[in-house]
């Protein structure tokens, strides 16, 4: 039975790297200052969602006012474009969050 020396060397290299990694310890994380007054990631996402909902509501009000003939056409177009941009951004962020969640789920434990 012939043995492949490359697989033998790679097994030795892998077990040597594993043994070396057992002695490693994580370096302490430097304190970058206090986080007082800084919003958390969850707070920032919640604020962005709240801002998006507010933009959508304002665009709807402007569109309804325009349909009644009480708003300038340019204001309606600007509100519609801002609504379009907001929805596209919200969908892109949602897609990235879902993708990140799926990546985390796929990680081996």
DSSP the chain: ----HHHHHHHHHHHHHHHHHHT--PPPPPP----TTPPPHHHHHHHHHHHHHHHHHHHHHHHHHHHTT-S-HHHHHHHHHHHHHHHHHHHHHHHHHHHHHHHHHHS--
Output the pLDDT for position 85: 93
Output the pLDDT for position 104: 93
Query: CA 70, CA 83: separation in Å to the nearest integer?
Result: 19
Give pLDDT tens digits for 22-81. 565 555 655 555 567 788 888 988 898 889 999 999 999 999 999 898 988 999 999 999
Query: The whole model's pTM is what?
Result: 0.57
Output the pLDDT for position 45: 85
Residue at token pair 């892998």: 14
Output the pLDDT for position 81: 93
Output the pLDDT for position 16: 63
Query: CA 89, CA 55: separation in Å to the nearest integer?
Result: 12
């Amino acid at each position: 039975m012939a043995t492949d020396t490359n697989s033998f060397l790679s097994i030795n290299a892998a077990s040597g790297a594993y043994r070396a990694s057992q002695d490693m310890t994580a370096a302490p994380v430097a304190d970058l200052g206090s986080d007082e007054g800084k919003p958390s990631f969850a707070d920032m996402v919640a604020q962005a969602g709240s801002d998006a909902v507010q933009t959508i509501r304002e665009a709807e009000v402007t569109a309804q006012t325009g349909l009644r003939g009480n708003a300038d056409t340019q204001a309606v177009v600007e509100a519609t474009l801002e609504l379009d941009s907001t929805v596209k951004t919200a969908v892109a962020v949602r897609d990235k969050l879902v993708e990140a969640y799926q990546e985390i789920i796929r990680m081996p434990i």
